[in-house]
């Protein structure tokens, strides 16, 4: 029998080693897997590479993981925010490596990893500092830059409902990076607000089929509404 449901976040994250590359879903607070990030903080893995659109907000979640000195490298598109003080301090003192990626390249490179694509040409970034040193090519009169996939050891994502096969649905803009990160990581851990019986999710409405998900952790909506 296939049963991907795990009792709690701690059990789901227990095997994450030092030096792992971890994708974390979310855009703003929508889809940010707070519980899983807190469990990662508690779990103790260090020297991590984190892939997220941003670089932490405020003092909790990803920002707390950064503040604890556990992240050596971050791959993101928009680190600078009004409340990104922990990242800002680490970056200015040279204690974290920033890999800045245009947001569409971030999304497409993650998608490419999940789809087994070895690289792709895109117009985004051509002629800018973010394409410096990268291979370019002219195709049908347009200039393109070669970009490579971003793989991960783990993905931590937040979904809405899940079943024991790992099928997932999302809620509104909380979907954001979830589906593509799930496909790009070797082990995807999804927190869900509701575990449903197999067959209860409308097959026409499943956004992430269970093939991309290895562990499902039920959580409650206490901390957020």
Partner 1 sequence: MTTRTLPRWSRVEMAQRVARDIPDGSIVNLGIGLPTLVANHLPQDREIVLHSENGVLGMGPAPAAGFEHPDLINAGKQPVTLLPGGSFFHHADSFAMMRGGHLDFCVLGAYQVSASGDLANWHTGAADAIPAVGGAMDLAVGAKRTFVMMEHCSRDGASKLVPSCQYPLTAIGCVARVYTDLAIIDLSAGKAVVRERVAGVSLEELQRVTAIALIDPRES
**Interface with partner 1 (CB under 8 A):** 27-31, 53, 77-81, 84, 87-88, 91-92, 98, 100-108, 110-111, 122-130, 143, 170-180, 207, 224-225
HSE-up of residue 127 (Cα within 13 Å, Cβ side): 4
Report the C-alpha gap between 109 and 41 in whole angstroms: 26
Report the 10 Å Cβ neighbour count for 221: 8
* Residue 52 CB, nearest approach to partner 1 (Å): 12
* Residue 186 CB, nearest approach to partner 1 (Å): 19
Which residue, 126 or 148, has its beta carbon nearer to partner 1? Answer: 126
Which residue, 13 or 176, has its beta carbon nearer to partner 1? Answer: 176
* Residue 18 CB, nearest approach to partner 1 (Å): 27
DSSP conformation letters of 160-206: SEE-TT--EE--GGGGTTHHHHHHHEEEEEEEESEE--TT-S-TTT-
Which residue, 24 or 101, has its beta carbon nearer to partner 1? Answer: 101
Which residue, 11 or 89, has its beta carbon nearer to partner 1? Answer: 89
């Amino acid at each position: 029998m296939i049963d991907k449901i795990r009792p709690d976040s701690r059990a789901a994250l227990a095997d994450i080693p030092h030096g792992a590359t971890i994708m974390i879903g979310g855009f703003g607070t929508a889809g940010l897997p707070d519980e899983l990030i807190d469990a990662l903080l508690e779990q103790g893995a260090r020297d991590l590479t984190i892939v997220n659109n941003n670089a932490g907000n405020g003092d909790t979640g990803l920002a707390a993981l950064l503040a604890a000195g556990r992240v050596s490298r971050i791959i993101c598109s928009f680190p600078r925010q009004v409340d990104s003080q922990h990242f800002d301090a680490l970056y200015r003192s040279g204690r974290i490596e920033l890999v800045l990626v245009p947001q569409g390249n971030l999304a497409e490179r993650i998608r490419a990893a999940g789809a087994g694509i070895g690289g792709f040409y895109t117009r985004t970034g051509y002629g800018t500092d973010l394409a410096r040193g990268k291979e370019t090519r002219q195709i049908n009169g347009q200039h393109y830059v070669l970009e490579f996939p971003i793989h991960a050891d783990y993905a931590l994502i937040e979904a809405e409902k899940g079943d024991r096969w790992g099928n997932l649905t999302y809620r509104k803009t909380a979907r954001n990076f979830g589906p593509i990160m799930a496909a790009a990581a070797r082990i995807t851990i999804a927190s869900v607000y509701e575990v449903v019986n197999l067959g209860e999710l409308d097959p026409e409405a499943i956004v992430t089929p269970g093939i991309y998900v290895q562990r499902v952790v039920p959580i409650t909506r206490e901390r957020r509404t």
